[in-house]
Chain A
Amino acid sequence: NAGVTQTPKFQVLKTGQSMTLQCAQDMNHNSMYWYRQDPGMGLRLIYYSASEGTTDKGEVPNGYNVSRLNKREFSLRLESAAPSQTSVYFCASSDPPGELFFGEGSRLTVL
């Protein structure tokens, strides 16, 4: 009953360091998404992938890259982390236009 699994759940980085957030879903969904959630800003779409092999920018893509490794996995990479990227990151999957299923989130702090 895993659904959407994100790793790591918590991470602290120094400015300029890089890291990759991993996401995997076991529901055979075609579409996957990365959102960030900040106080007072709500959930904002960073990147999405409508199918294996395709990725597209969302509302706030700057400073991020993504890889749709296969149908199950969609990773988010920060090449040079900045304090403005301190946030809670959520991965989600769906078979549009249906429900989005979210992971539990990855809390990232950039010092």
Chain B
Amino acid sequence: TQLLEQSPQFLSIQEGENLTVYCNSSSVFSSLQWYRQEPGEGPVLLVTVVTGGEVKKLKRLTFQFGDARKDSSLHITAAQPGDTGLYLCAGPYSGGGADGLTFGKGTHLIIQP
């Protein structure tokens, strides 16, 4: 079983601060995805990273895929209350994308005004 470990599990910071959350595995993934989930809703895709060392930016969010494709990070600059949510990383099961994704347990992020 491919495991994705996310850290920290919980993070509460003030508006305007920067933060980084991590997604680590002992397995190599062909790609990793990051989702954000708000209360009462399903997860929504933020980004997919495919190439080792890849960096993608989505406004104030920066995603990086490790060179060995075993880990990823999400950095948020100048966090806003609207960034509050559960951030999940996910990668394909070893059988490929059609077999679904395996998810980390997530980072619960709270941005206080």
**Chain A interface residues toward B at CB < 8 A:** 4, 30-31, 33, 35, 40-45, 48, 50, 56, 58-59, 90, 92, 94, 96-100, 102-105
- A40–B42 Cα distance when bound, in Å, is 17
A33 and B40 contacting across the interface, CB-CB below 8 Å: no
For the A-B complex, the count of residue pairs with Cβ-Cβ distances under 8 Å equals: 68
With A40-B105, A43-B43 as contacts: A97 and B100 at CB distance below 8 Å: no
Residue ID in chain B nearest A91 by CB atoms: B42
- A35–B37 Cα distance when bound, in Å, is 14
A42 and B97 contacting across the interface, CB-CB below 8 Å: no
Chain B 61-95 interface 0/1 with A at a Cβ cutoff of 8 Å (1 = within) = 00000000000000000000000000010101100
B97 and A45 contacting across the interface, CB-CB below 8 Å: no
- A43–B104 Cα distance when bound, in Å, is 8
- A104–B40 Cα distance when bound, in Å, is 7
Q: How large is the interface on B (under 10, 10 to 19, 20 to 34, 35 or more residues)?
A: 20 to 34
Of B30, B97, B104, B106, most buried by chain A (CB within 10 Å of CB) is B97
Residue ID in chain B nearest A56 by CB atoms: B99
- A102–B42 Cα distance when bound, in Å, is 5
Provide a sorted-by-A list of 17 A–B residue pairs whose CB atoms are within 8 angstroms. A30-B98, A31-B97, A42-B104, A43-B88, A43-B103, A45-B93, A48-B100, A50-B99, A59-B1, A90-B42, A94-B97, A97-B31, A97-B92, A100-B43, A100-B101, A102-B43, A102-B44
A97 and B99 contacting across the interface, CB-CB below 8 Å: no
Residue ID in chain A nearest B47 by CB atoms: A99
Complex contacts, A58 vs chain B, CB 8 Å: 100
Complex contacts, A104 vs chain B, CB 8 Å: 40-42
Partner of A99, one of B48, B88, B105: B48
Residue ID in chain A nearest B50 by CB atoms: A97
A41 and B100 contacting across the interface, CB-CB below 8 Å: no
- A97–B31 Cα distance when bound, in Å, is 9
A56 to B: closest C-beta gap in Å: 7
